Amino acid sequence: MAVSYKDLGLVNTKELFAKAVAGGYAIPAYNFNNLEQLQAILQACVETKSPVILQVSAGARKYANATLLRNMAKGATEYVKELGYDIPVVLHLDHGDTFELCKECIDSGFSSVMIDGSHHSYEENIALTKKVVEYAHAHGVSVEGELGVLAGVEDDVVAEKSTYTRPEEVEDFVKRTGVDSLAISIGTSHGAHKFTPAQCTTNAEGKLVPPPLKFEILEEIEKRIPGFPIVLHGSSSVPQEEVDTINKYGGALKAAVGIPEEQLRKAAKSAVCKINIDSDGRLAMTAAVRKVFVESPGEFDPRKFLGPARDALKKLYMHKNINVLGSANKA
């Protein structure tokens, strides 16, 4: 039996994106796989009064169970009220790759889905995206499409190199598919190793500085589809303090370089109204867990290491909402 997202207290992205584009900020899209991640995301967004998009990947559904995740999302809308501020919550399928997967999520209460047909030919991408849009819109669900390919690894999504979005295609794609938002490729990528040291320069502090995002592509897209909601995937900044902590406490995370936060802030002031962040959260939690294991090697209560991991994630996401995305006090 199909479940409507409205029955779970969720919202779709339509009004949220319109407000974000007009207001010059981006809504955080944070992936979650377990309870501690969900707690941290919701606590951070309630305390900063930010709307939030809870993202579930195909890998997360396999790991945590689709039914459990759906009920966690239902509990999320009740939890934010208990925390004292009723922020808008979206439940979004990240990188859906088939019509069947998108339909299953829509029928189980998701309020937004992404259909990623970027690995298909242009015409096949349009056909698949349009099919998902028609079914989703009949249920009031928002749809995100994608043009261009991001390099890197994220769960089941793997690509060796990026293909930048072609601005001359966006008008036709949006018109023919009817999508509500469009993920584009302008230099971001999945994972913690977005750039090699050879691709970066070194600043006065000895830190690696990656090449800038292709803002000229973004600007051209904005000219062609003015005011249309744009999405950036693969937008973790890979905080070096988290990388350093991981390596200090036994990790081997070398040459991990992300997107500078000032570039993401610039993007958030444009038509980019949704920014996906996952790897940064993984780094923060891993750093906190490793620290506990080294400093308290006799500890075996999961709450004693997952609790600090949750707190580190909450702190990171509050920072993102306030200083990077500009979504604080927008709920």
Given 94, 97, 155, 278, the catalytic residue: 94
| Length of the chain in terms of residues written | 331
DSSP string, 3-50: --GGGGT---SHHHHHHHHHHT--EEEEE--SHHHHHHHHHHHHHTT-
327 C-beta neighbours (distance < 10 Å), count:
26
Question: How far are the Cα atoms of 17, 19, 44, 77, 316 from residue 311, in angstroms, in the given order?
Answer: 28, 30, 10, 20, 9
CA distance 72 to 313: 18
Question: How far are the Cα atoms of 107, 115, 259, 294, 321 from residue 111, in angstroms, in the given order?
Answer: 10, 13, 29, 41, 22
**Closest of 121, 75, 116 to residue 94, by C-alpha:** 116
Could you give the 3-state DSSP secondary structure of residue 298?
coil
Which tokens hold the place of 259? 């997107």
Which tokens hold the place of 11? 């919202």
Tell me, what amino acid is at 318? M
> Does the active-site annotation cover 155?
no
State the maximum Cα–Cα separation within the chain, in Å, rounded to a whole number.
Answer: 60
Helix (DSSP H) and strand (DSSP E) numbers for the chain:
12, 12
Cα angle, residue 212 at apex, residues 235 and 129 outer, rounded to 5°: 45
Phi first, then psi: give them for residue 96, nearest 5 degrees.
-65, 135
CB 246 within 8 A of CB 287: yes
Q: Which residues are catalytic?
A: 94
